[in-house]
Amino acid sequence: MKLVDILEPGRIVHRLTATTKSAALRELVQRGVVPPEANTELGVADEEQIVRVLEERERLGSTGIKDGLAIPHGKLERLDQIVACLGLAPQGIDFGALDGQPSRIFIVLLAPESAGGLHLKALARISRVFSDSSLHKRLLDAPDVDTVWSTITTEDQRY
């Protein structure tokens, strides 16, 4: 599974304005998952449920991993395929990451209820591609969505 299979330019939030974990989750859903340009099978009517699923997962333990990366994720009955959204917050947001550092790169991963194995493969792929801290800097320094997408597609091909 490649990142470009689950992510597309319409699901990139170039600059998050949120300053809290809760606001970041809501903004990622509003700007990167449910609008028409996100090209998902989800819509504005699904917003509250998606935010609730992500917040419930966060209550189990932060999805803020390390090195400024957070991977909020959850499963939705209504989905037929795995969907990812990428958000960038150069200012950093306290996401309760394991290393105590603010999160700057967010990848929301939503999967169908029945996609246990694929969900884990997607998480593993994200972890692999984003293990390179130089990628983080290039994404955070990118001036626009097109540059972010180009950087992601190039990096995705390396693995």
Active-site positions read 73
> How much of the chain is helix, strand and coil, in % rounded to 5?
45, 20, 35
Kindly report the backbone phi and psi dihedral angles of residue 73, in degrees, each rounded to the nearest multiple of 5, phi listed first.
Answer: -150, 160
What is the residue type of 12? I
Q: CA 122 to CA 65: how far, in whole Å?
A: 15
Q: CA 91 to CA 151: how far, in whole Å?
A: 20
Q: CA 76 to CA 111: how far, in whole Å?
A: 6
Written as six digits, the tokens of 122 are 């997607």
Helix (H, G, I), strand (E, B) or coil at 82: coil
